[in-house]
Structure 1
C-alpha cells in the first residue's frame, strides 16, 4: 500500500482496543460514585470523532449525555456540568489550547475527567483524573478515537443494564484492528480512482446520516479543507433537502457516505435524488467491505471506523496526486490566532 506502515497501524489500533477493560473499570467506578451525567468535550476534528458514541448514548441510554464546545463552556459554564459529571476530553496532541483551558475550569468544578491523548508528556496527558494514552498520528488517530469513545458509551450502557451483549460486542471489537487492515488492502486498488474524483473538483458536498455523518463532516473539514485546501460543504443527510439540494446541478460533486445503522434510509434518499441532477455522485458504503466474524450489531457500530480507515487510503493517494502533503498548513499552528 502507498506510504503505509502496516505494523505501525496494527500496533496503534490494538493499543486502542486494549483500553476497553480499563475504560470499563473507570466508568463503573465513576457511576458507582454517583456520577449523574457525561460530557464529551473535544475541540476541532477530534470532537467529531466523539459524535457516534454520543449519539449511541443519547438514543439508547437513559443516562444524560452532552456534547459541547470547550471554547464556549470556558466562557459560559453549564448548569449540568458539576462535580458529579464524567468528562471525556480527547486530544491527539494533548496540547489543544481550548481543551487545556477547559481542563483548568474542570479542576475547579471537580468533575471526573478522562483524557484520551496520543502523547503523555503534555497538559492533557498529565492533567486528567484518568489518562488514556495511545500513541497515534493524524493518519491513524480516527480509528483509535472512534474506538475509545465507543468503549465509553458501551460501558455506561453495561453498568445501567441497557445492553445485554456487552461482552460479545467488546470481544468482536478486539478483532477490529486486523479486519481494518484487510479493508485497507481490499480498497487500495480503488483508492487512487476515488482520490482522482476529489482532485477533479474544487468544491464538494459531503453528506451522510446516523453515525457516519461525523465521518463526512470530519473528512470534508479536517482533511480536505485543512490539509488540502479544497472547499467543501458538509451537510447532514437530514438537512440535505432543506437548502443544499438547490446547489446540486451538473458538474457539482456530491460525496455520500452510507453506514449500516437505522439511519441508512436517509443516505438512500440522497442517493436516489442526486443522480438525476449531477453527473458527479460518489458513494462510499461501509456495507461494501468484508468484516468476517462481526455481527450485524457490531457492523452498524463500526461503520464510521470502517469509512475512516478507507478514507486514509484515499488521502494517501490524494496528497501525492496533488503534490500537497497532508502536513502542509498556512495558518494552523503556524500563526497566532
Structure 2
C-alpha cells in the first residue's frame, strides 16, 4: 500500500497505544472518586471534530452531562455549565495549537480537572494540563487518539455504573488495531480508484450522522479543503433535506459515510434520494468490513476508527493523483490571522 508501513502502524497503535490502558484507568478513577459535574471535550479544527463522536456516544449511552466545544468559542462564551467541578479533555497532535493551549490553561486555572492527548512530548499543551497521555509520534496519531478516547469515555461510563460490559469492551479495543489494518487493506484499491476518478472534481458533498458526523466534518474541512484545496461541504444527514438537496445534479459528487449506530436510517434516506439524481455517488459503509474479534454490540462504536482509517487512504492517493502534498498550505501557520 502506498505510504503505509504496516509494522509501524501496529507498533504505534497496537503495541504502544494499548500500553496506556492502566494510566487512563488510574486518571479516570482518581477523578471519579473525587467527583465531577460534567465533561467538556474541547478542541479546534480536526481535534474538535475528533471529539464529536464521543459526545454522541455519551449522549446516547450515558447520563453523564457532556459538552463538545470549539476552543476559541468556549473561551469567549462564558459557558454556564463549566465550573471547577468540570472535567476537560483536550487533544492536539503538535501540542502547540494556540486556541487549545489557551483553553487548557484557562480551565486549569479555574480548578477544573484537565486531561490532554498529545503526540509531541514537551510541548505547551503537555505542560498546561493536570494529566497528559503523550504518544510520542505524529504518525497515525488520530488512530491512536481515537482508541485512547474509547478507553477514557467508557471508563467514565463504567465508573458511573452505566457500562457493565467495560472489561469485554476494553478487551475488544485491543483487537481494533488489527481490524483497522484489515479494513485499510481491503479498501485500498477503492481508495485509489476514487482518487483517480475524482482528481479533477472541484466540489464534494460529504454526508454523515451520529458518531460519524465528526469524521464527515473533519474530512471535508481538514483534508479536502485544507490539505487539497478542494471545495467541499459537510452535511448532517438529518439536515440534508433542509437546503442542500437543491444543489444535487447529475454530476454532483456525493460521499455518504455510513456507520452502524442508531442514525443509520438518516443516511439511508439521503442515499435513496441522491441515487435517483447523481451519477457520482460514493458510499463508504463500515458494515462492509469484517472486524475480527469485535462483537456486534460494539461495532457501532468502533465504526469511528474504521471509517477514519479508510478515509485516510483516499487522502494518500489524492495527494499522488493531484500532485498536491498533504502538508502544503497557503495560509495555515504561514501568516498571521
TM-score, normalisation: structure 2: 0.96
Deviation at 1:281, TM superposition (A): 0.8
* In structure 1, distance between residues paired with 2:309 and 2:176: 11
- Correspondences of 1:48-87 after superposition (within 5 Å): 48-87=49-88
Residue 232 of structure 2 corresponds to residue 218 of structure 1: no
Residue in 1 that maps onto 2:104: 103
Of the structure 1 ranges 291-300 and 6-15, higher mean CA displacement relative to structure 2 is found in 6-15
- Contact 2:45 2:218 (8 Å CA) reproduced: no
1:228 Cα offset (Å): 0.1
Matches within 5 A, 1:261-272: 261-272=261-272
1: distance between equivalents of 2:181 and 2:79?
41
2-structure distance, mates of 1:197, 1:71: 38
Spell out structure 1 runs of 4+ moving beyond 6 A. none
**Match in the other structure for 1:248:** 248
Shift of 1:333: 0.8
Q: Secondary structure of 2:330's match?
A: coil
Query: Following the alignment from structure 1 to structure 2, what is the Cα–Cα distance between the partners of residues 94 and 189?
Result: 34
> Within 2, Cα distance between the matches of 1:307 and 1:61?
23
Range with bigger deviation, 156-165 or 188-197:
188-197
- Structure 1 residue 68 displacement after superposition: 1.1
Task: Verify the 8 A CA contact 2:83 2:112 in the aligned structure 1.
Answer: yes
Paired residues in the alignment total 336
Tell me which moved more, 62-71 or 141-150. 141-150
How far the C-alpha of 1:104 sits from its partner, in A, is: 2.2
- TM-score normalised over the length of structure 1: 0.96
In 2, distance between residues paired with 1:112 and 1:287?
37
Map of 1:273 onto structure 2:
273
For 2:259, the equivalent position in structure 1 comes to: 259
Say which SS state the counterpart of residue 317 (structure 2) adopts: helix
Per the alignment, residue 91 of structure 2 pairs with 90
- SS of residue paired to 1:41: strand
Moved more, 197-206 or 81-90: 197-206
CA contact (8 A) 2:116 2:126 kept: yes
Q: CA separation in 2, counterparts of 1:290 and 1:195?
A: 24
State the distance in 2 between where 1:124 and 1:100 align: 5
Cα shift at 1:185: 1.5
Q: Are positions 1:148 and 2:151 aligned together? A: no
User: What SS does structure 2 have at the residue aligned with 1:18?
Assistant: helix
State how far apart, in whole Å, the 1-side matches of 2:28 and 2:36 are. 9
Q: What is the CA-CA distance between 1:16 and the residue it aligns to?
A: 2.7
Tell me which moved more, 60-69 or 238-247.
60-69
